[in-house]
Amino acid sequence: MRKWLTGSLVAAMCTAAAAAPAAAHWRKATSDHFIIYADSSESWLRRFATKLEQFDSGFRFLRQMKPLPGEKSNRMTVYVLTNSDRVAQLCGDCGNVAGFYQPRVGGSVAFTFKRQAGENGISPQVVLFHEYSHHMLLENYSVAYPKWFSEGFAEFYSTATFDSDGAMNLGKPANHRAYALFRLSPIPLRTLLAPGSEEMDDSETESFYGRSWLLTHMLTFDDKRSGQLHEYLTLVSSGTPSLEAAKKAFGDLDKLEKELDRYLSHNRMSYFKIAGDKLHVGPIKIVETSEGQDEMMRLRIRSDRGVNRKQARDIVEDARAKAADFPNDPAVQTELAEMEYDAGNDDAAEAAADRAIAADPARRDALLYKARVEMRRALAADDHRPETWEKARSWIVKANRLDPNAAEPLLYYYRSFVDAGETPSKMARIGLERAFTLSPQDPGLRMLFIRQLLEDADVKLARKLSMALAYSPHGGNKMAKAIIEAIDAGLPGPKIVQTLDAASATQQTASKD
């Protein structure tokens, strides 16, 4: 149902942080689509989890998206930190952030903080909903989206609000972009539709986000332009350059730009209202984490953020000392196995995984670390004996049998053939495709699947899946662009793989020199 909101956008910038008093324990909430860790009360965490599930449900209802099979096996993990300073420190060189998201095979990860009274600016909820909208958009894995629409779409859904009667509102004005829309020079429409390769400065970036939201909102609600956005996106996904597609779908771009400027001055703006009985929220289970998990949580969050070898070595000594007090806690020992593995300590990683499996034989991640350790050892020793790799695969098979819908075991089963220098079996190739279907957001998994499609000479699907990487809103993938160019030049799939492998080997040799 479409609703109206009276009043103009109001400026609300400037992010500040206020530390919240720590709760006695971290708590874990598990719902249909999320695993959430928060240092909060049970009541707060339940409200937070409910709101996320309502957003997911409303999003799917409005977009008419069917549930993905295996969703519960590949839930997104959300860490709710104390304040925005913690988020910024964790993100590193990200500037002033209220949260961030990382797509991962088997379950993406998001980091946010608990908003406190008196804070202004872009709320953590807006950022989380923005990033989750990207996550959901990528479920339609065969479609390429231009940067302006990807960001405008995420901004459109980021402003979701909830009424006391359980209803949810989608598409409300992006108040957090008001300064950019009203005070900064508007980015020209043609630049918005087809930005160049040059970097935008902070003001231009702010304007880009604001105008992207404005154009998305207008094309969604302006009845005179009904169907044009769909036509434009269809053209872009078929390979038509963005500006050319815009001219075909929208007509006179100068006229569109004037309409866009007038649209900003409207005193009333439409939004969607979804009744509460249309929002499905399944059971939400909340438990206190164990004493050992509490002790490890700070290190676990840092590790889950993603670390290089040096960073992993910086935290592993502390992790080892904390985990020593909890040898029979399978969660703690699995976390330690991850940190030891990232630090390059294969023997210690295997020992921690063994302790986790002894305490809980159904600990899937621990089984996978057993496999990953054995695979890395074999690679280091240049060991290609079939029995070596069959032993590593046996752990992956055990993990897969625990949950056939989990994407990670399917990925590592396929990788075990590639790393061993063997042609992946039919079952491994089927597993790779299944893993991609379950976790289409992960760019590394997508590229691996594209490579296999090229090997199988399925260049049509390989090109379609490369488009989303080549024109990613967070930086285009050069290899994906090279694949598209090679396909368009008529090269067969296997030849493209050979060319890319040769270029990669040359680059690795040069970097070593």
CATH code for the domain of 102: 3.40.30
What is the arithmetic mean of pLDDT over 400-426? 97
Of 258, 288, 318, the one marking the end of a domain is 288
Tell me the two tokens of residue 461: 């699907």
Q: Does 21 have pLDDT greater than 50?
A: no
Q: Write the DSSP assignment of 357-408 as a string of letters.
A: HHH-TT-HHHHHHHHHHHHHHHHHTT---HHHHHHHHHHHHHHHHH-TT-HH
Q: Does 118 have pLDDT greater than 90?
A: no
pLDDT tens for each residue of 433-455: 999 999 999 999 999 999 999 99
Report the C-alpha gap between 17 and 113 in whole angstroms: 10
Q: Does 469 have pLDDT greater than 50?
A: yes
User: Is 247 part of a structural domain of the chain?
Assistant: yes
List of residues 6+ apart from 67 with CB closer than 8 A: 60
For residue 288, list its beta bridge partners.
27
Q: What is the mean pLDDT of the chain?
A: 89
Q: Sheet containing 99-102: which strands, arranged edge to edge?
A: 99-102, 109-113, 76-81, 34-38, 27-30, 285-288
How large is the angle between the packed helices 459-470 and 493-512, nearest 10 degrees? 40
User: Is 50 part of a structural domain of the chain?
Assistant: yes
User: Is 221 part of a structural domain of the chain?
Assistant: yes
Higher pLDDT, 267 or 385: 385
Are 245 and 278 contained in the same domain? no
Higher pLDDT, 500 or 421: 421
User: Is 302 part of a structural domain of the chain?
Assistant: no
| Per-residue model confidence (pLDDT) at position 119 | 46
Burial class of residue 209 in the structure, from the number of CB atoms within 10 Å of its CB (0-12 exposed, 13-18 middle, 19+ buried)? buried
Are 138 and 275 contained in the same domain? yes
Are 280 and 237 contained in the same domain? no
Are 178 and 136 contained in the same domain? no
Are 32 and 138 contained in the same domain? yes
Q: Is the dihedral of CA 465, 471, 475, 478 positive or negative?
A: positive
- 501: containing domain: 442-513
Report the C-alpha gap between 299 and 318 in whole angstroms: 8
| Per-residue model confidence (pLDDT) at position 506 | 63
Are 96 and 82 contained in the same domain? yes
Are 127 and 230 contained in the same domain? no
Are 181 and 105 contained in the same domain? no
pLDDT tier, 228 (very low <50, low <70, confident <90, very high otherwise): very high
Chain centroid offset of residue 283 CA: 24
Tell me the two tokens of residue 413: 């089963």
| Per-residue model confidence (pLDDT) at position 467 | 85
pLDDT tens for each residue of 133-177: 999 988 876 677 888 999 999 999 999 999 999 999 999 999 999
Reported for 465-469, long-range contacts at CB under 8 A and 24+ positions apart, including other chains, are 465/141, 465/142, 467/143, 467/144, 467/237, 467/239, 468/138, 468/141, 468/143, 468/144, 468/145, 469/443
pLDDT tens for each residue of 42-97: 999 999 999 999 999 999 999 998 877 788 999 999 999 987 778 888 888 776 67
Report the C-alpha gap between 184 and 275 in whole angstroms: 37
Higher pLDDT, 448 or 469: 448
Of 267, 297, 324, the one marking the end of a domain is 267
Beta strands in 67-202 (DSSP E): 76-81, 99-102, 109-113, 161-162, 168-170
Question: Given its phi and psi angles, is residue 307 left (phi above 0), alpha (psi -120 to 50 degrees) or beta?
Answer: beta
The single-letter DSSP state of residue 423 is P
The single-letter DSSP state of residue 145 is -
Q: Does 14 have pLDDT greater than 50?
A: no
User: Is 93 part of a structural domain of the chain?
Assistant: yes
Are 130 and 277 contained in the same domain? yes
pLDDT tier, 121 (very low <50, low <70, confident <90, very high otherwise): low
C-beta of residue 392 within 8 angstroms of C-beta of residue 369:
no
Of 256, 288, 320, the one marking the end of a domain is 288
User: Is 487 part of a structural domain of the chain?
Assistant: yes
Are 131 and 225 contained in the same domain? no
Q: Does 283 have pLDDT greater than 80?
A: yes
Neighbours of 318 (CB within 10 A): 14
| Per-residue model confidence (pLDDT) at position 11 | 31
Are 137 and 186 contained in the same domain? no
Query: Residue 71: which of 125, 108, 27, 112 has the closest Cα?
Result: 108
Tell me the two tokens of residue 158: 């980021």
| Per-residue model confidence (pLDDT) at position 476 | 64
pLDDT tier, 208 (very low <50, low <70, confident <90, very high otherwise): very high
Alpha carbon separation from 306 to 46, 94, 104, 120, 374 (Å, rounded)? 27, 14, 11, 29, 22
User: Is 106 part of a structural domain of the chain?
Assistant: yes
User: Is 354 part of a structural domain of the chain?
Assistant: no
Q: What is the dihedral of CA 88, 289, 69, 467, to 10 degrees?
A: 20
| Per-residue model confidence (pLDDT) at position 96 | 64
pTM: 0.89
pLDDT tens for each residue of 335-394: 999 999 999 999 999 999 999 999 999 999 999 999 999 999 999 999 999 999 999 999
| Per-residue model confidence (pLDDT) at position 444 | 93
Name the percent of the chain lying above pLDDT 70: 90
C-beta of residue 84 within 8 angstroms of C-beta of residue 115:
no
Report the C-alpha gap between 393 and 441 in whole angstroms: 25
Are 245 and 277 contained in the same domain? no
Number of domains forming the structure of the chain: 3
| Per-residue model confidence (pLDDT) at position 13 | 29
